[in-house]
């Protein structure tokens, strides 16, 4: 594998709206990110992924872009963005922007022009089709619920495609002129000093336009025709062209939100000449200990372990996955992976170690290093995310009671990760001097950055140690390029693996067992590199793991 600068990525994802408000309007902004760059540097991160800050009407929290070359006023100005790029660079940190090119906002100038002339130049930038039998062109369902087609105002039988909300019309990637505009925009941003992009919904660019109705899969008579607009044949050609025209010449780090990468896709997607630097490993994202399917920490932990190793086997050293546990679309990991009775200072430190030293690059999410938690609501009206309400309505339509629907939303809502960052114990957790756009979790008076900074035994300090281990000069190459050897794969409650090369032999051991356990152990420990306890009990062919213990050990050959 040819070595690249981005192989050493320890990323930190920021949801700007909830990170730090500096002007009292209750919405986080770019100046707020700049204010805390020193803290991100101290954590050890060298890349920041910034969720969308482009101009947007915010129907989908910025994932509906109305101008690709401007910053939304709620976040600041282009000058603020340039300052952020420059200030981050001074600290050895590169900025990734969150780029959405599957669709635009319906407020984008292109779409506004398309509405005036659906058959003209800009109409070809989108997907317009005539309806059938007085209905939509077909019965595809939007990912956010309802039809994936919206009638064009002023026309009796013309519709446009939107696989997300109706305010997010899909761009037509079959159109070369559109592609050229997007490539030009990407190169302009790279000229400003970006490190690269996280590419949202990128596996949807290619559609299979067979406009026949599919068998309904719900009471709404629509079909979630995912295979018709996700990873469709021909997608690789589009992605390859985009890379060759924009990312390769600028040495950009690109991370795709790419669903369902099979063994046959690896070379095209993240191989040596693949379309992206990396893609997110989504294998664990449906695991939730509060789902009745699981009901206990150990059962979920075993499934999580098996999925991690299966994902690595698919890649098989041909590229680098992006390993993460939290992001802006998922619930917080302490509540997602651990039953309440299993949540303590040991288990909370054990969790991030499980995948942090696997092959690939790694990303943390704002507040993860503090152990921020979910924030359940007493009513559906406590949420603000439009798709959350769409999911709630669908659950009610499927026959669930209000309590059942709210219970599922509270268990799975992506809004749990969007509560404002908890900086200190002052009003509104130090996030804003005004009224926050979304309520702060009430636990902020005890759980906050300032309190953990003062406690060397806190989760924050443990994350710093963990990052420092991964980036330790004598170990980094092993974690980046060493062999992965799963260990104790059939032992319930244990997730363990080795990273090995000609320089080092590292054993990572974690357990989700409340009582701990003893394991057969033939290695000789050379160094205890990381430990969430003060002791490591090994000898006479056995190693004793304490409850929820995690160990990173350098062992002798």
Of 257, 265, 348, 374, which one is the catalytic site residue? 257
177 among known catalytic residues: no
What is the pLDDT confidence band of residue 364, given thresholds at 50, 70 and 90? Answer: very high
Residue 451 tokens, joined: 């309190």
Average pLDDT, the chain: 96
Average the pLDDT over 268-293 and give the result.
92
Question: Would you state the pLDDT for residue 121?
Answer: 98
* Cβ–Cβ < 8 Å for 500, 506: yes
What is the pLDDT confidence band of residue 390, given thresholds at 50, 70 and 90? Answer: confident
257 among known catalytic residues: yes
The whole-angstrom distance between residue 99's C-alpha and the CA centroid of its chain comes to: 13
What is the C-alpha separation between 69 and 515, in angstroms, rounded?
Answer: 55
What is the C-alpha separation between 3 and 477, in angstroms, rounded?
Answer: 10
What is the C-alpha separation between 42 and 465, in angstroms, rounded?
Answer: 11
Closest CA to 495 of 219, 300, 288: 300
pLDDT in tens, 89-135: 999 999 999 999 999 999 999 999 999 999 999 999 999 999 999 99
* pLDDT at residue 1 is higher than 90: no
* Cβ–Cβ < 8 Å for 344, 548: yes
* Cβ–Cβ < 8 Å for 261, 314: yes
Average the pLDDT over 217-234 and give the result.
93
Return all residues near 237 (Cβ < 8 A) that are at least 6 apart: none
Question: Would you state the pLDDT for residue 29?
Answer: 98
pLDDT in tens, 456-515: 999 999 999 999 999 999 999 999 999 999 999 999 999 999 999 999 999 999 999 999
What is the C-alpha separation between 123 and 127, in angstroms, rounded?
Answer: 7
Closest CA to 16 of 438, 387, 330, 418: 418
Question: Which range, of 45-49, 216-220, 428-432, 507-511, averages the lowest pLDDT?
Answer: 216-220
What is the pLDDT confidence band of residue 315, given thresholds at 50, 70 and 90? Answer: very high
Residue 14 tokens, joined: 């920021």
| Per-residue exposure over 456-466, b if at least 16 CB sit within 10 Å of its own CB, e if not | eebbbbbbbbb
* pLDDT at residue 557 is higher than 80: no
pTM for the whole thing?
A: 0.95
Of 80, 150, 200, 428, which one is the catalytic site residue? 200
Average the pLDDT over 147-173 and give the result.
97
Percent of the chain beyond pLDDT 90? 91
Return all residues near 332 (Cβ < 8 A) that are at least 6 apart: 326, 367, 368, 372, 373, 374, 416, 417
Percent of the chain beyond pLDDT 70? 100
Question: Would you state the pLDDT for residue 321?
Answer: 97
Closest CA to 135 of 211, 226, 229: 211
Is residue 268 packed enough to be buried (19+ CB in 10 Å), middle (13-18) or exposed (0-12)? middle
Give the side-chain half-sphere CA count within 13 A for 485: 10
- Token look-up 């295979």 returns 227
128-130 sheet: strands from edge to edge: 128-130, 158-161, 149-151
What is the C-alpha separation between 119 and 128, in angstroms, rounded?
Answer: 8
* Cβ–Cβ < 8 Å for 416, 423: no
């Amino acid at each position: 594998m040819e070595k690249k600068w981005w192989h050493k990525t320890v990323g930190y994802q920021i949801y700007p709206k909830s990170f730090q408000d500096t002007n009292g309007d209750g919405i986080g902004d770019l100046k707020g990110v700049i204010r805390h760059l020193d803290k991100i540097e101290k954590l050890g991160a060298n890349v920041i992924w910034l969720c969308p800050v482009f101009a947007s009407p915010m129907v989908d929290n910025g994932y509906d872009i109305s101008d690709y070359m401007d910053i939304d006023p709620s976040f600041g100005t282009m000058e603020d963005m340039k300052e952020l790029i420059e200030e981050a660079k001074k600290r050895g940190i590169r900025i990734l922007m969150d780029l959405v090119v599957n669709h635009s906002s319906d407020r984008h100038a292109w779409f506004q022009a398309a509405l005036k002339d659906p058959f003209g130049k800009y109409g070809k930038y989108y997907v317009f089709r005539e309806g059938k039998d007085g209905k939509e062109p077909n019965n595809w369902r939007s990912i956010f619920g309802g039809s994936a087609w919206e009638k064009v105002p002023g026309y009796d039988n013309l519709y446009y495609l939107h696989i997300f909300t109706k305010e997010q019309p899909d761009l037509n990637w079959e159109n070369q002129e559109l592609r050229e505009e997007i490539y030009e925009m990407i190169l302009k941003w790279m000229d400003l000093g970006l490190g690269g992009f996280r590419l949202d919904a990128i596996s949807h660019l290619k559609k299979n336009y067979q406009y026949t109705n599919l068998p309904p899969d719900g009471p709404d008579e629509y079909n979630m025709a995912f295979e018709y607009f996700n990873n469709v044949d021909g997608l690789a050609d589009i992605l390859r062209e985009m890379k060759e025209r924009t990312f390769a010449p600028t040495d950009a780090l690109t991370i795709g939100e790419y669903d369902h990468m099979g063994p046959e896709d690896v070379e095209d997607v993240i191989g040596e000449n693949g379309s992206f630097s990396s893609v997110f490993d989504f294998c664990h994202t449906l695991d939730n200990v509060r789902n009745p399917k699981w009901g206990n920490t150990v059962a979920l932990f075993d499934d999580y372990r098996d999925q991690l190793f299966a994902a690595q086997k698919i890649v098989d050293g041909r590229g680098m996955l992006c390993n993460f546990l939290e992001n802006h679309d998922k619930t917080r990991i302490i509540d997602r992976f651990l039953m309440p009775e299993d949540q303590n200072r040991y288990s909370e430190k054990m969790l991030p170690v499980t995948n942090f030293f696997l092959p690939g690059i790694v990303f943390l999410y704002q507040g993860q290093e503090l152990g921020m938690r979910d924030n359940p609501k007493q009513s559906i009206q406590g949420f603000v995310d439009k798709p959350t309400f769409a999911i709630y309505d669908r659950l009610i339509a499927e026959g669930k009671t209000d309590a059942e629907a709210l219970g599922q939303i509270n268990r799975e809502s992506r809004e749990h990760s969007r509560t404002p960052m908890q900086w200190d114990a002052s009003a509104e957790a130090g996030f804003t001097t005004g009224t926050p756009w979304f309520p702060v979790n009430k636990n902020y008076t005890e759980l906050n950055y300032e309190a953990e900074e003062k406690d060397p035994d806190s989760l924050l300090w443990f994350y710093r140690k963990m990052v420092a281990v991964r980036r330790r000069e004598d170990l980094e190459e092993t974690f980046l390029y060493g062999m992965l050897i799963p260990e104790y794969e059939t032992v319930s409650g244990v997730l363990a693996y080795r990273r090995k090369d000609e320089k080092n032999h590292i054993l990572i051991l974690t357990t989700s067992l409340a009582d701990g356990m003893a394991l057969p152990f033939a290695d000789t420990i050379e160094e205890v590199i990381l430990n969430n306890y003060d002791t490591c009990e090994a000898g006479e062919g056995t190693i004793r793991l304490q409850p929820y213990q995690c160990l990173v050990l350098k062992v002798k050959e």
